[in-house]
Amino acid sequence: MSRSVKDNRTVYIISGPTAVGKSLIAYYLAKRIGGEIVNCDSVQLYRFMDIGSAKPSEKEMKAVRHHLYSIVDPSENMTVAAYRRLALEAIDDILARGKTPIVCGGTGLYLNSILYDMDFGATAADDGDRRKELEDLAEERGGDYMHQYLQAIDPDAASRIHPNNTRKVVRAIEAYEYGRGIRDLSECPMNPDYDFRFYALNMERKWLYDRINRRVSRLVSDGLVDEVNDLIEKGYNKELPSMKAIGYKEVIGFLDGDYDLFDAKELIMKNTRHYAKRQITWLKRYDFVNWIDINKGETVGEIVDRIIESEDSGQI
RNA sequence: GGCGACAUAGCCAAGUGGUAAGGCAAAGGUCUGCAAAACCUCUAUCCCCGGUUCAAAUCCGGGUGUCGCCU
Q: How far is the CA of A253 from the C1' of B66 (A)?
A: 37
Number of domains in chain A: 2
Which residues lie closer than 8 Å to A107 by C-beta, 6 or more apart? A40, A41, A42
Q: Identify whether A139 is part of a domain.
A: yes
Q: Identify whether A43 is part of a domain.
A: no
DSSP letters along A155-205, please?
Answer: HHHHHHS-TT-HHHHHHHHHHHHHSS-PPPGGGSPB-TT-EEEEEEEE--H
CA distance to A62, A76, A157, per residue, from A234 (Å):
27, 14, 40
Q: What is the CATH number of the domain that holds A129?
A: 1.10.20.140
Q: What is the CATH number of the domain that holds A231?
A: 1.10.287.890
Q: How far is the CA of A270 from the C1' of B9 (A)?
A: 21
CA distance linking residue A206 with residue A204, whole number of Å: 6
Q: How far is the CA of A279 from the C1' of B10 (A)?
A: 24
Nearest nucleotide by C1' position to the A55 CA atom: B36
Nearest nucleotide by C1' position to the A249 CA atom: B36
pLDDT of residue A4: 47
Q: Are A177 and A216 members of one domain?
A: no
Q: How far is the CA of A214 from the C1' of B7 (A)?
A: 37
Q: Identify whether A69 is part of a domain.
A: no
Q: How far is the CA of A23 from the C1' of B70 (A)?
A: 64
Backbone torsions φ then ψ of A81, nearest 5 degrees = -60, -45
pLDDT of residue A5: 46
CA distance to A85, A87, A153, A189, per residue, from A114 (Å):
9, 7, 30, 11
Nearest nucleotide by C1' position to the A168 CA atom: B38
Print the domain residue range for A217: 211-274
Look up the protein residue whose alpha carbon has the minimum distance to the C1' of B31.
A109
Partners of A67 in the beta sheet?
A38
Q: Output the pTM of the full model.
A: 0.92
Q: What is the 3-state secondary structure (H, E, C) of A263-292?
A: HHHHHHHHHHHHHHHHHHHHHHCCCCCEEE
3-state secondary structure of A116: strand
Q: Identify whether A227 is part of a domain.
A: yes
Run means of pLDDT, 10 residues per run, chain A, 316 residues: 63 97 97 97 98 97 98 95 96 96 97 93 72 88 92 94 94 88 87 96 95 96 97 95 96 93 94 97 95 94 94 58
Which residues lie closer than 8 Å to A106 by C-beta, 6 or more apart? A15, A16, A17, A18, A22, A40, A41, A279
Q: Identify whether A270 is part of a domain.
A: yes
Q: Identify whether A55 is part of a domain.
A: no
Which residues lie closer than 8 Å to A241 by C-beta, 6 or more apart? A77, A78
Q: Identify whether A171 is part of a domain.
A: yes
Q: Identify whether A146 is part of a domain.
A: yes
